[in-house]
């Protein structure tokens, strides 16, 4: 169960990390690297919390990723 949870969290973190700066506006240097790796922090947190809290993390990260994808789809960058 935990391995499946970690795999799903890793998939959502990877997808979020790829979409975060898809337009090429990522900060340069160490800050940009940190921002790319930050979504993977949920996997580290999920390793130390009970299963119910890990499922909560998965639910909230999937919800947030879907919400961002939906809301940012129609935005036009100037």
In the chain, pLDDT over 90 holds for what percent of residues? Answer: 28
Q: pLDDT by residue (tens digit) across 35-60? A: 888 888 888 998 899 999 999 999 99
The pLDDT assigned to 27 comes to 73
Q: Does pLDDT of 30 surpass 90? A: no
HEC letters along the chain: CHHHHHHHHHHHHHHHHHHHCCCCCCCCHHHHHHHHHHHHHHHHHHCCCCHHHHHHHHHHHHHHHHHHHHHHHCCCCC
């Amino acid at each position: 169960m935990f391995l499946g949870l970690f795999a799903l969290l890793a998939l959502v973190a990877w997808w979020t990390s790829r979409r975060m700066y898809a337009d090429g506006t990522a900060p340069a240097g160490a800050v940009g690297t940190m921002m790319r790796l930050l979504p993977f922090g949920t996997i580290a947190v999920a390793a130390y919390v009970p299963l119910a809290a890990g499922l909560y993390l998965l639910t909230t990260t999937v919800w947030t990723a879907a919400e961002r994808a939906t809301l940012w789809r129609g935005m036009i960058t100037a």
